[in-house]
Amino acid sequence: MENFRDADNREIVIEVKDVKKKFRSYQDKASSLKERFVNPSRGKHEDVMILRGISFQVARGEAVGIIGRNGCGKSTTLKLLTRILYPNEGHINMKGRVSSLIELGAGFHPDMTGRENIYTNASIFGITRKEVDRRLNDIIRFSELEEYIDNPVRTYSSGMYMRLAFAVAINVDADILLIDEILAVGDSGFQKKCFEKLKEIKASGTTIVIVSHSMDQMYRICDRLIWIENGLIRKEGVPKFIGEEYLMEMESGRIDRIEVENQQVKEELEQQLQEEATSESSEETVALIRRQKEIAHNETLKEVCKFYQPGARRGGRGGAKFTFVTLENSDGEETNVIKTGEYCRIRLGYKIEEKLPSVRFSLGITRDDGVYTYGTYLEYKESFKDSGEVILSFDNALLRGKYVLDLWLETLDGEALDSVYSLMPIIVKTDNDEERGFCTMAHKWTCV
């Protein structure tokens, strides 16, 4: 890899080429002699391909994030870069000194003081005493443990322990820094400090490869994301784009999973009920039936909304209910994808089954990360029909993202007659790339 350069004439410091890695998966591993003789079949194994041939390059000073669901091979990739594991096929070239923030506090001895452990721990990263001497003050200052540094580590709280470990690891001079999901150290103040330090390290020209599930951190530090799926690189590119696509897919995976789980729960309840029917424990039977009813009640929402999502919940004491819920775009078509700035309508069909003096229709929109985004309500006091429709028309000010719809049909004292949570996903698309955040605002830039 002699001064290998990429298209932009940057120096390549990490080159991964057609790397394949398989693990042996034993049914039940026999590692002692007797077991091997007594039961030879136990030694049988299957090879599981974790990486099926991945290639990528990282240029000097670049920060690359690796994302993917659990078991996709991202941690294996990092371990291959660290040289803890070796590829079965293909090769990896790294240029410069590699340091990894994978295992914090390796080699800490509880009876030794913080100061002594700094030396031990640093030596495990291949750092000489002399180098540690030079950075000792930096490390202690970073850990914020000045007063405790000469106490044995066993007297530390777990937070202090991790702070010390992190301080050593991050104060290592390296050309390439590998990080696996560790920016969750200490309190939020310390986390922020670590993050700032990481940015500083990046600015000084260190190449970084990071594995994390925190997209937020990834967006802020990475120049590029690599998405690994089933041992192959699915996609790579600008963090924001790759990240959003990935999250979107994870979300739909989650919803499919809920559907599957719901189905399983239903079947299990059915079976338990049959078993209970023969026995006497009525209390449990009641609980089971209640649970079954709940599920059935949730599923009535399928008829209410075409875009019903599994996981939607329905409550309320009854007496009134929603009969249909639709979202229409500006062309009057039923949809669940709308644009920022578009004129839309939400139509709510209802039916009131008992005598009520007044009702209230409430509507809430929540972003998929749980942030309550918008809410409104309509109170109906007199001369309302027993069944009919209320329509909410609005100019959509929400920006790109995924939202869910919650609805309530209540009495004026707030007693819920019918309540619906996470009924349908609403996908908002934004044409311009200039605005970010929750919602659009009428705005104007001026140069003076």
330 binds other proteins (CB under 8 A): no
Least distance CB 138 / other proteins (angstroms)? 18
Task: Pick the closest to residue 80 from 17, 11, 36, 163 (CA basis).
Answer: 17
H or E element: which one contains 344? strand 343-352
Return the number of the residue (123 or 329) whose C-beta is nearest other proteins: 123
Least distance CB 155 / other proteins (angstroms)? 14
Least distance CB 3 / other proteins (angstroms)? 21
33 binds other proteins (CB under 8 A): yes
Considering CB under 8 A, how many residues would be counted as binding other proteins?
Answer: 31
Is residue 345 within 8 Å of 327, Cβ to Cβ? yes
86 binds other proteins (CB under 8 A): yes
Which residue type sits at 264?
Q
Taking CB under 8 A as the criterion, the residue among 57, 77, 100, 143 binding other proteins is 100
Cα 59 to Cα 176: distance, rounded to the nearest angstrom: 10
Taking CB under 8 A as the criterion, the residue among 13, 57, 68, 79 binding other proteins is 79
Least distance CB 188 / other proteins (angstroms)? 26
Least distance CB 102 / other proteins (angstroms)? 6
Residue 54: both structure tokens together: 């991945």
Return the number of the residue (97 or 297) whose C-beta is nearest other proteins: 97
Cα 68 to Cα 72: distance, rounded to the nearest angstrom: 6
Least distance CB 158 / other proteins (angstroms)? 16
Touching other proteins, residues 117-176 (CB under 8 A):
119-120, 122-129
Instruction: Output the CA–CA distances (angstroms, integers) from residue 29 to 44, 71, 85, 87, 212, in the order listed.
Output: 8, 21, 20, 22, 31
**φ, ψ of residue 420 in degrees (nearest 5):** -130, 125
Return the number of the residue (81 or 399) whose C-beta is nearest other proteins: 81
- Region from 102-110, 265-273, 370-378, 431-439 binding other proteins, contact rule CB under 8 A: 102-110
Taking CB under 8 A as the criterion, the residue among 49, 85, 258, 344 binding other proteins is 85
Instruction: Output the CA–CA distances (angstroms, integers) from residue 187 to 158, 184, 192, 253, 348, in the order listed.
Output: 11, 8, 9, 32, 46
Touching other proteins, residues 214-243 (CB under 8 A):
none
Return the number of the residue (32 or 279) whose C-beta is nearest other proteins: 32
Q: Is the dihedral of CA 101, 104, 106, 111 positive or negative?
A: positive
Cα 243 to Cα 260: distance, rounded to the nearest angstrom: 26
Return the number of the residue (94 or 198) whose C-beta is nearest other proteins: 94
CB atoms within 10 A of CB 437: 10
Q: What angle do CA 299, 304, 306 make, to 5 degrees?
A: 95
Taking CB under 8 A as the criterion, the residue among 40, 71, 107, 159 binding other proteins is 107
Taking CB under 8 A as the criterion, the residue among 2, 24, 280, 443 binding other proteins is 24
438 binds other proteins (CB under 8 A): no
Least distance CB 287 / other proteins (angstroms)? 45
Residue 178, Cβ density class (10 Å: 0-12 exposed, 13-18 middle, ≥19 buried):
buried
92 binds other proteins (CB under 8 A): no
Taking CB under 8 A as the criterion, the residue among 106, 184, 287, 412 binding other proteins is 106
**Tokens 């890695």 -> residue:** 21
Least distance CB 125 / other proteins (angstroms)? 8
Least distance CB 141 / other proteins (angstroms)? 22
Least distance CB 214 / other proteins (angstroms)? 21
375 binds other proteins (CB under 8 A): no
50 binds other proteins (CB under 8 A): no
Which residue type sits at 78?
L
Taking CB under 8 A as the criterion, the residue among 19, 59, 67, 98 binding other proteins is 98
Spatial neighbors of 437 by CB under 8 A, at least 6 apart, are 399
Is 204 in a helix, a strand, or coil? coil
Spatial neighbors of 140 by CB under 8 A, at least 6 apart, are 114, 115, 118, 146, 149, 167
Is residue 314 within 8 Å of 420, Cβ to Cβ? yes
Taking CB under 8 A as the criterion, the residue among 2, 8, 9, 32 binding other proteins is 32
- Region from 32-40, 276-284, 289-297, 384-392 binding other proteins, contact rule CB under 8 A: 32-40
Is residue 173 within 8 Å of 138, Cβ to Cβ? no
Least distance CB 101 / other proteins (angstroms)? 10
Return the number of the residue (122 or 304) whose C-beta is nearest other proteins: 122
Cα 277 to Cα 281: distance, rounded to the nearest angstrom: 9
List interacting residues with other proteins (CB under 8 A): 23-24, 31-34, 79, 82-86, 98, 100, 102-103, 106-107, 109, 111-112, 119-120, 122-129
